């Protein structure tokens, strides 16, 4: 039986072996398929969706099917081992998974090209402390997402605006001269 457990934030940075030990203590078995998915999420360092994870997992175990992947992801999420992100819904309804073993960080999402950057810093810990102190709130999880345009997309957008103006100008020019 897989118990839903919520790890305190301080435990998120536990080494993976510790996570496994603590799971074993709680009677949660890390089956081969769970382990494959957990390893993929852990080592990729990226934010993969269920389909991407399925394609990668299939290469390690041909018996893995989509249903198992979705069910396992749900279990890992409920078990507090992975985080499910929607990344500002850039990819529609897609959800992305990442390990909770990483240090807390914010996700910075480019709403034009979909690039995801991770931002590490003191800010999340500071905010958490303030929320706990000012609101007397016990925080179990924080998620910070920032949406905008990456430096490359800012250049491309400026070019697009320029081009759009370029195509508009003749029409405007005609309007003015004939006015």
Sheet holding 106-110, edge to edge: 116-119, 106-110, 145-148
Give whole-number Cα distances, 90 to 85, 101, 118, 144, in Å.
Answer: 11, 24, 16, 15
CB of 30 to Zn ion, least distance (A): 22
Query: Looking at beta carbons only, is 64 or 83 nearer to Zn ion?
Result: 83
- Half-sphere exposure in the Cβ direction for 78 (13 Å, CA): 12
Q: Which stretch binds Zn ion (CB under 5 A): 53-61, 62-70, 145-153, 170-178?
A: 145-153
**Interface segment toward Zn ion; rule CB under 5 A; list 53-61, 62-70, 120-128, 150-158:** 150-158
Stretch that binds Zn ion, among 9-17, 37-45, 65-73, 118-126 (CB under 5 A): 118-126
Residue with tokens 């810093």: 121
CB-based burial of residue 175 (10 Å sphere; 0-12 exposed, 13-18 middle, 19+ buried)? Answer: exposed
Supply the minimum distance, in Å, between the C-beta of residue 116 and Zn ion: 7
Does residue 28 bind Zn ion (CB under 5 A)? no
Contacts with Zn ion, 74-113, as mask; x by CB under 5 A = ------------------------x-----------x-xx
């Amino acid at each position: 039986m897989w118990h839903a457990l919520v790890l305190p934030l301080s435990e998120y940075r536990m080494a993976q072996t510790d996570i496994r030990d603590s799971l074993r203590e709680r009677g949660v078995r890390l089956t081969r398929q769970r382990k494959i998915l957990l390893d993929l999420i852990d080592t990729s360092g990226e934010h993969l969706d269920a389909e991407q994870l399925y394609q990668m997992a299939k290469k390690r175990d041909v018996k893995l099917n989509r249903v198992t992947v979705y069910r396992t992801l749900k279990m890992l999420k409920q078990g507090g081992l992975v985080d499910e992100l929607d990344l500002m819904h850039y990819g529609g309804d897609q959800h992305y998974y990442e390990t909770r073993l990483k240090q807390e960080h914010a996700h910075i999402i480019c709403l034009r090209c979909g690039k995801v950057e991770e931002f590490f810093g003191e800010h999340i810990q500071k905010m958490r402390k303030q929320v706990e102190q000012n609101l007397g709130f016990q925080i179990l999880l924080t998620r910070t997402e920032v949406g905008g345009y990456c430096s490359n997309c800012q250049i491309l957008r400026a070019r697009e605006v320029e081009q759009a103006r370029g195509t508009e100008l003749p029409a405007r020019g005609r309007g003015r001269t004939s006015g």
